[in-house]
Chain A
Amino acid sequence: MKAFSYKIYFFLIPVLVYQLIFGIYPLIYNLILSFKEVTLITYLGGGISQWIGLSNYLQILKDPVFQKAIFNTLIFTGLSLSFQFIIGFWLALLFNHTFPLKGLFQSLIMIPWVLPIMVSGSFFRWFFNDQGMANNFLLSWGFINKPIPWITSKIFPILSITAANIWLGIPFTFILLYTGLRAIPLELFESAEIDGANWWQKILYITVPLLKPVIITILTLGTILTVKAFDLIWIMTKGGPGDVSHLFTTLSYSLAFNKFHFGKASSLLVIMVLLVVGLTFLFNSTKVEEESSIE
C-alpha cells in the first residue's frame, strides 16, 4: 500500500484560503453581529455595538413577522420542491423516450435556467400584476369577472411567488433526474417486462430505488437553493404587500437595509443557516445509510 503523503494538504491550500476568506470569515462575522446590538450608527463606526447575548434571537423568535416568515418559507420550500420534483420526474420519464423534435423541446425546458433572475422575476411581476397577463387571459376567456390580486392581496402573493419559483426550478430537477434515468441499464426494464411488471411497477421497483441517490441530491440542493431564495421574491413583492410574503432571506434583508437592525438580521440568518445545515445533514445521513446498505 502506498504511504500516506502529507503533500496532499498542499493542494488543499487554495480552496482552504478561499473558504476562509469568503465562507468562514463572513459566517463568523455574521455570528458575532447576531450577539450585538448593531444599528446603522454603530455599523458606520459612530458608536460601539453593545454585546447583548441572545437578545436578538429572543426578539426575533417572538416577532410575529418572523413566525409568518417561517410559515411562508415552509410553504414556499415544500410546494416548490414537491412540484419541481413531480414535474421534473414526469418530464425526465417523457424525455427518456425518443420522439420528434426532442432536442428542441429539451432546450426549451432549460430556458428558465438560462434567464437571469432579474428578467424572470420582472416577467412574473408583470405576469401576476392586476393588469398583467394572467388576469388578462382569465378575464378574456371568461374564467373570472374581475382581476385576481395575485401579488397585491394578503393571501395570494406567497402562492404566486411559489408558482414562479416552481417554473424556475424545473430544469434543475429535470436535468438531474434525466441524467440519472439514462444511467439505468435498459436490461433491467426488459427483464422486468419479461417477468410481467407493468409501467407503474417498473417505476416503483426499478426507477425510484435506482434514482434514490439522485433524488437525495435533488432534495439536498433543492432545499438549500429554495430556502435561500431571495432575488425572485424581492423583485416580485419585496416581501409584501405589508409583510405577507416575507421569507427568511427577504425579512433579513429588510431588517438590515430598511430598518437598519443589523444584529437582528444576522441572528435570523444564523437560524436559517442552522436549519439548512440540519436538513442537509438529515438528507446526507439517509444517503450514507443507503450507500452502506448497498456495500
Chain B
Amino acid sequence: MKWSLGTVFIVIMLLVIVFTGFAQENVTITVQDYFDPAKSMGKFIQERIVEFENNHPNVKINHTFIPFNQLLPTILQQSITKTVPEIIMVNNPNVSQLIKGGVLKDLTDKVKEWGWENWEDFIKGYRDNGSYDGKIYAFQITGNNLALFYRESLLNKAGIANPPETWQELKEQCKKIKELLDISPFAYDAEASDEGSFQFYPFLWSNGGSLLELDQPEAIEALQFLTDMFKEGYIPRDVLNITSQGDLTPWFINGDVAFMINGCWEFGWHLTEDVMQQLGDVKVTSIPVQEKGIRPIVAFGGECYGISSNIDPAKYDAAWEFLEILLSSDINLKINIDSASLPTRVSATEKILTEVPILEPFLEQSKYALPMALMGGMENYGEISSILWVAIQKAFTGVATPEEVFKEAAQTIKGIFSPEDYEMYKQVARELLQEASKK
C-alpha cells in the first residue's frame, strides 16, 4: 500500500494531537487566599489567572476567598479531610505549625530551578519564617508592622507640639488631652486574639523583654505601663472587645482618640487618600519607648503563599508555575501598593516609596522587625500568644496585678516545652532581640 504525502501528514498531525493531548492532561488548581474577588486585589489576581489560563489551555485555576481570621481554621478542617487546595495563603506566625504538621510542601528544588537569587531577594526575616531545616516551604508576599498614628490637630488643641517619644511623654500627653478634650486618647488593641498579642510586642521587645520570659522585670514593666494607661482611662475600655485592629481607626477618624497603634495596611483600608485629605492632620511616628535613644522593635506581620503537601503530582508543575508569577518582584510590588503593605522582596522595597511615601517609617522598622513564631517557640507560638492576650486582659481588668499574671503566664509557657527545647527557644529569642536592638 502506498501512502500519499498528504495522508502521512494527516497521520502525523493526528499522532501529535493525540500525544500532546495525553501529555497535557487537563488540571484544575485552586488558589486560596484572603483577596476578596470584589475588590481590586482579587480582581488583579483574577486577571493573572486569566492570563495564565490563556497561556496554559490545559490548566484551570479557581480562586477561593477566605476572610483573614478564617485562614487557619479553614486549613485545619481541610487538612483533616485531605482537601487542602493546591496554593494556600497562611498568616506568617502559623507557617511553622503547618510545616511541622506536614501541610506545606518542601519547595526547595523548585526554588533552585527558579533561581536562588530570587529566594535571596526576599528579606531575611521572611526567609527565616518560611523555611525550616534548610528547606523552603513558604514565601511571604506581604509585610507590615505597627507605628503610632496621631491627629496633629488634637495634639495642638491640647497644647502639644510634638508627638511622644517615650512612655512617660505618652502618659503625660494623654493626661493633658483627657483633661482638656475629655476623651480617652490612646487607642491600643487589647482584644482576645493574636492581634492583641501583636500590639503588645513593640512595648515588650523595645523594653528588652521576651515572650518566653514574661516573669522578667522588662516584660512586667511593659505590661504595668499599659495597665496603668488603661486604668487611668487613657485607653478606651472597649479595646478589650473589638474584633480587629481595624476597629480602632473609626475612633481615630472621628477624633474620639488622638493616638492609635496601628499598621501600615490602614492606608489601604480606612485611611484612604480621600479620608487622609479630609482629615488633613494624620501623622505617623515610631511607637514610644521607655527611654529616648532605644530602638523601637516591632513584630512583622503579613501573609505567605505555600503549596499543599498533598498536591496531586500532575498538578505540581502548573501550581508552581502560577505561584512563580505571584512571587515575582513586579507582582510583589503591585500587591503591596494596593494593600499599603510592605514588599517582601528587596527589589520591590526600593520602588514602593515613590508610590506610597507614607510607608517610609514602616519600611525603616521592617529592617529590624522580628518574626513572632521564632520569638515565641515556633510551632507553639499560637498557644503562647493566646496565653499572652489572656494575661493582658486579666491585668487590664484587675483580675490580678501585671506581675502576678505574667508570673503565672511564664510558668504555663515554660510547661509547654521540654526543658531542653525551652532553653533553646529562649536563647533563639534572646539572640534575635539582641541583634534587632543593635544600632
Contacts and interface: CB of A to CB of B under 8 A. Distances in A.
Nearest to B80: A43
A257 B386 CA distance: 10
A182 interface: no
Interface in A41-65: 41, 43-46
Contact of A40 (B101, B192, B256, B387): B101
A156 to B, nearest CB: 10
B21 interface: no
A44 B101 contact: yes
The secondary-structure label for the interface of chain A is loop
A80 interface: no
Contacts of A261: 383
A239 B101 contact: no
A154 B399 contact: yes
Contacts of A151: 240-241
Contacts of A259: 382-383, 386-387
B76 A41 contact: no
Contact of A45 (B79, B236, B238, B387): B79
Interface in B52-100: 73, 76, 79-80, 97-98, 100
Nearest to B97: A40
A242 B241 contact: no
B386 A254 contact: yes
A64 B387 CA distance: 14
A244 B399 contact: yes
Nearest to B191: A238
Interface stretch (A82-90, A123-131, A206-214): A123-131
B390 to A, nearest CB: 5
B396 A130 contact: no
B176 interface: no
Interface residues of B, number: 32
Contacts of B100: 41, 46
Contacts of A40: 76, 97, 101, 379, 382
Contact of B101 (A45, A130, A154): A45
A131 B382 contact: no
A148 B379 CA distance: 40
A229 B98 CA distance: 31
A9 B207 CA distance: 71
A262 B208 CA distance: 34
Interface string B229-260: 00000001110110000000000000010000
B37 interface: no
B280 interface: no
Given A46-B100, A260-B382, 16 more contacts: A40-B97, A43-B79, A44-B79, A44-B98, A44-B101, A44-B103, A46-B102, A46-B103, A130-B237, A130-B238, A131-B236, A147-B237, A236-B241, A242-B390, A257-B73, A258-B383
Contacts of A153: 397
B159 interface: no
Contacts of B192: 238-241
The secondary-structure label for the interface of chain B is helix
A45 B237 CA distance: 41
Contacts of A236: 241
A130 B73 contact: no
Contacts of B379: 40-41
Interface of A: 40-41, 43-46, 125, 129-131, 147, 149, 151-154, 236-244, 254, 257-261
B171 interface: no
Question: Which of B79, B101, B103, B236 is most buried by chain A, counting CB atoms within 10 A of its CB?
Answer: B101
B240 A240 contact: yes
> Which 9 pairs show the lowest CB-CB distances between chains A and B?
A44-B101, A242-B394, A46-B101, A258-B386, A241-B393, A242-B393, A152-B237, A130-B237, A46-B102
5 contacts: A46-B100, A241-B394, A241-B396, A259-B383, A260-B382
Contacts of B241: 125, 129, 151-152, 236-237, 240-241
B399 A242 contact: yes
A152 B230 CA distance: 11
B76 A44 contact: yes
Nearest to A42: B101
A195 B351 CA distance: 94
Given A41-B101, A45-B79, A129 B238 contact: yes
Contacts of B76: 40, 43-44, 257
B396 to A, nearest CB: 7
B101 A243 contact: no
Contacts of A258: 382-383, 386
Contacts of A257: 73, 76
Interface in B351-406: 379, 382-383, 386-387, 390-391, 393-394, 396-399
Nearest to B102: A46
A46 B80 CA distance: 12
Contacts of B103: 44-46
Nearest to B196: A240
B167 to A, nearest CB: 23
Nearest to B75: A44
Nearest to B394: A242
Contacts of A239: 192
Given A40-B379, A242-B399, A259-B386, A131 B238 contact: yes
Question: Which of A131, A241, A258 is most buried by chain B, counting CB atoms within 10 A of its CB?
Answer: A241
Contacts of A44: 76, 79, 97-98, 101-103
B393 A240 contact: yes
Nearest to A235: B243
A273 B379 CA distance: 31
Interface in B172-212: 191-193
Nearest to A122: B243
Contacts of B80: 43
A89 B382 CA distance: 47
Interface string B155-170: 0000000000000000
Contacts of B387: 259
A46 B103 CA distance: 8
A40 B381 CA distance: 11
A151 B239 CA distance: 11
